[in-house]
């Protein structure tokens, strides 16, 4: 579960639409909530960078609403399993769906070698299940609504153009600047040379330059050349069907990460005080 926002709003008594008879439960979606999410290539000629061509289609549905006891037992069991070095397991099969103990079912479709969407394999589905089950910063297993823009703007596609740089709830500086400071780069592999050239000086983020950016698009949108190169690199993953080794397109080998981590081993980030527990899913739009 995620941290609550600093100033939670008063919620209505019941949900809207098809769940209008269901009492609202803070931090939870009503039973039978469905999400359909697409992952797309980069189109440098489209204002939003979204291509018509899809990499993936992801579907989820909340099939039951666990009670407080069931959720407590889930987190206790998860902690116990981690203490004993056990990896999480999920019920289901690719043709139908996979389920977790939070009451959600998930199914993903991804490109085959010819570019047609196919059902993901069990091993490929574990990527989805891991994020929607084992990450503590989500709300009811999802990232969706807590991060949307406030008001009517939040009910359309979240176009980075025009979205200002804002901090997470409880933080003082924009989220993207905090990310740059902690990661020492623009992505988890610290391999995005374009971000480093634009927004870093001598290994540290140029805070003044980042704060002067007009919107998130200026900070994060790749150049046309990089967008096309990323598409080409991902197509190689598609041809190889090597999704289990990662779905992030890399333009060159990652040099700033561990080449190998033992199963359930440590990365030494804790010992060097580079793990953080103050992350919030909510943004401070004030």
Of 99-103, 209-213, 230-234, the least confident: 99-103
pTM of the model: 0.86
Q: What does the pLDDT look like over 7-25, one tens digit per residue? A: 557 889 999 899 999 999 9
Which tokens sit at 165? 């740089």
- Is the predicted pLDDT of residue 259 greater than 90, yes or no? no
Mean pLDDT of 120-145: 88
Mean pLDDT of 60-65: 95
Q: What's the pLDDT at 131? A: 86
How open is the CA angle 149-1-59, to the nearest 5 degrees? 65
Q: What does the pLDDT look like over 177-186, one tens digit per residue? A: 999 999 999 9
- Is the predicted pLDDT of residue 1 greater than 50, yes or no? no
Q: What does the pLDDT look like over 137-169, one tens digit per residue? A: 888 988 888 889 998 889 888 899 999 999 999
């Amino acid at each position: 579960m995620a941290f609550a926002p600093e100033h939670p709003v008063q919620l209505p008594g019941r949900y809207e639409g098809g769940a209008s008879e269901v009492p609202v439960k803070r931090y939870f979606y009503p039973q039978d909530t469905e999400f359909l999410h697409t992952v797309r290539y980069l189109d440098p000629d489209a204002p939003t960078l979204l291509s018509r061509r899809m990499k993936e289609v992801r579907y989820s549905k909340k099939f039951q609403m666990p009670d407080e006891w069931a959720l407590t037992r889930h987190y206790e069991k998860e902690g116990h399993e981690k203490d004993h070095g056990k990896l999480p397991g999920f019920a289901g099969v690719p043709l139908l769906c996979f389920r977790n103990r939070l009451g959600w079912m998930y199914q993903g479709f991804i490109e085959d070698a010819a570019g047609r969407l196919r059902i993901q394999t069990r091993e490929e589905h574990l990527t989805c299940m891991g994020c929607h089950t084992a990450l503590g910063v989500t709300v009811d297993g999802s990232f969706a609504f807590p991060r949307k823009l406030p008001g009517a703007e939040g009910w359309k596609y979240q176009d980075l153009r025009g979205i200002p740089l804002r901090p997470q709830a409880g933080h003082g500086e924009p989220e993207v600047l905090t990310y740059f400071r902690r990661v020492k780069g623009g992505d988890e592999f610290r391999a995005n040379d374009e971000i480093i050239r634009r927004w870093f000086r001598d290994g540290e983020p140029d805070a003044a330059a980042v704060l002067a950016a007009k919107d998130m698009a200026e900070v994060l949108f790749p150049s046309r050349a990089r967008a096309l190169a990323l598409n080409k690199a991902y197509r190689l993953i598609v041809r190889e069907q090597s999704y289990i080794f990662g779905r992030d397109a890399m333009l060159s080998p990652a040099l700033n990460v561990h080449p190998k981590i033992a199963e359930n081993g440590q990365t030494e980030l804790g010992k060097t005080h580079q793990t953080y527990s103050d992350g919030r899913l909510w943004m401070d739009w004030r």
